[in-house]
Structure 1
């Protein structure tokens, strides 16, 4: 565990620890490219809880923010059960989602691992010209050099450590959250076949 989290270690569960309660409103946190949406979809199927992709609510055509984002996010948060990614803190989602969630899954991958996964995803999207929310396509790879403020790879490099910095405050401000820290893809797989499966609708309680 990161030294910054040592004093909060008793509040953070590992991939081996059972969840203390059934998940109902689930946040998934982590830097860009670590697999938040992929995990959210798997959990939605496993737990029979709907997944809403927060990026889909935020991004309109040509990457313009949708004016209905805040209202739709608040409507999502008010629901009884949901899974989503914890992002857009600068637009109020820290409080809107954090106060309502009861489970937080933190994908705390190392910088090299996170960058490798982000690079692989970015290359795939570029090669396939994959269309994202509302028809958007990620900018060309050369923006790594020509427009570093907007390039997703640069963004991932700049912001990798933000969740390590945030987590102690998250533990204090949202003490009702059960926090699960998963540090590698292997831990994710073990958690999915262990504690997460134990709480699926078809498992013995």
Structure 2
């Protein structure tokens, strides 16, 4: 869990490899066509994947599946990094993706024009940082979800130290 650019996918891939758990990329499940078309079967797909006993998904954030994921997860790893950590990461990633025309979920690409949109990852990370943090904090404290083991890391060094201990 974390805001755009925190390193959720990278961490999830690393955990998947180290722990031998199947990894599913939420953006790839959510976006399935040109112009960032949303998969109309995302809830069904996520429900099927999370019915398995062991899995890792790199985000619990999309509204259509948020409650489902929170209900079925047993552990949340929260990358609660400050903007000064997040923003350089998301900017570097988006510049790389735009320059190289990297193909993303559903065959989409980040373009220079996209940078003008409030939906662009850089704008989204900046504007949604506080709101996302408050929402995760609220959910972590919600009695319905208190059985969840929540690991909250405030800096990449903390996450790296934890990973080294696995």
Alignment of 1:85-124 (within 5 A): 85-88=59-62, 90-91=63-64, 93-124=65-96
1:64 lines up with 2:37 in the alignment? yes
TM-score calculated relative to the size of structure 1: 0.75
Partner Cα distance (1:101, 1:152) in 2: 26
Matched, 1:188 2:159: yes
C-alpha distance in 2, partners of 1:182/1:131?
30
- Give the Cα separation in 2 of the matches to 1:100 and 1:171: 16
Residue of 124, 127, 136 corresponding to 1:155: 124
Q: CA deviation at 1:188?
A: 1.3
Q: TM-score under structure 2 normalisation?
A: 0.91
Cα distance in 2 for residues equivalent to 1:34 and 1:169: 19
Q: Is 2:5 the partner of 1:36? A: no
> Structure 1 residue runs of 4+, over 4 Å off?
none
Output the CA distance in 2 between the equivalents of 1:185 and 1:30.
12
Structure 1 CA distance for aligned equivalents of residues 5 and 67 of structure 2? 23
- What is the aligned length? 162
Task: Find the counterpart in structure 2 of residue 14 from structure 1.
Answer: none
Deviation at 1:174, TM superposition (A): 0.2
1:165 matched residue in structure 2: 134
Deviations 1:119-168 (A, max 9, x none): 0111111121111123210132x4434x3x22221111110112331213
**Bigger Rg over Cα:** 1
Is the Cα contact below 8 Å between 2:153 and 2:159 reproduced in 1? yes
Residues 171 and 177, structure 1, Cα contact 8 Å, conserved in 2: no
Which structure ranks higher in relative contact order (CA pairs < 8 Å, sequence separation ≥ 6)? 1
CA distance change for structure 1 residues 163 and 155 in 2, over 3 Å: closer, same or farther?
closer
Which consecutive unaligned segments of at least 5 residues does structure 2 have?
none
- Per the TM alignment, residue 181 of structure 1 is displaced from its structure 2 partner at its CA by 0.7
